[in-house]
Amino acid sequence: MSAVSVRPATVADAASVHAIYAPVVEHTAISFEEVPPSIGEMAARIEATSTAYPYLIAERAGVVVGYAYAGQHRTRAAYRWSVDVTVYIAEEARRSGIGRALYAQLFPELAARGFHAAFAGIALPNPGSVALHERMGFELLGVYREVGSKFGRWHDVGWWQRLL
């Protein structure tokens, strides 16, 4: 298996990010979006996020196999040093170290920008994501019970935290 490289995302990555994310939206409750955003919307999200937070792409042999980014945790000023983090991996590349590689670059970058705490919300059940986050130093804070409804079912979301 070839090495993974991690780099900042650009709007040119929107189609690749869309290809990873759209099936998650369409076929799982991992994302609570119900309609996949268009490639144009993904480009706008990459551009908007990248103005204030890191948005990273993982490539293997020149193919985008995952992405991770940070975003605002809450709107009140006192929360400005906390971020929410997100990681998505292409189905065929899961459990191959891509998530670890992305987070290994994301966390130091966040710390260098002065952020103090990272939070991850994980729709449950999602044992792969829980394992990744706990392996990366996140600790479970609690669970919002039946907080989202998708595919005619209520879903819980667990919240994890890691100090940077």
- Determine the straight-line distance between the first and last CA of the chain, rounded to whole angstroms: 30
pLDDT of res. 3: 92
The Cα 95–Cα 22 span in angstroms is 19
For the residues of 50-79, what is the DSSP string, one character each? HTTS-EEEEEETTEEEEEEEEEES-SSGGG
CA distances to 14, 116, 125, 127, 137 from 40, in Å: 7, 32, 30, 31, 34
pLDDT one-digit tens code per residue, 20-40:
999 999 999 999 999 999 999
Residue found under tokens 């937070």: 53
What amino acid occupies position 115?
F
Which residues sit opposite 84 in a β-bridge?
A: 71, 119
91-134 pLDDT tens trace: 999 999 999 999 999 999 999 999 999 999 999 999 999 999 99
Q: Does residue 1 register a pLDDT over 70?
A: no
Closest CA to 107 of 25, 6, 21, 2: 6
Domain range 4-163, CATH class: alpha beta
- In whole angstroms, what is the distance from residue 160 CA to residue 44 CA? 27
Say whether pLDDT at 88 is over 90: yes
Average pLDDT (55-72) is: 97
Contact criterion met (CB below 8 Å) for 55 and 9: yes
Instruction: Write down the mean pLDDT value for the chain.
Output: 97
Q: Where are the domains of the chain?
A: 4-163
User: Which pair of tokens denotes residue 23?
Assistant: 């099936």
Q: What is the pTM of this model?
A: 0.95
Q: Give kind and range of the element (H or E) at residue 17.
A: helix 14-27
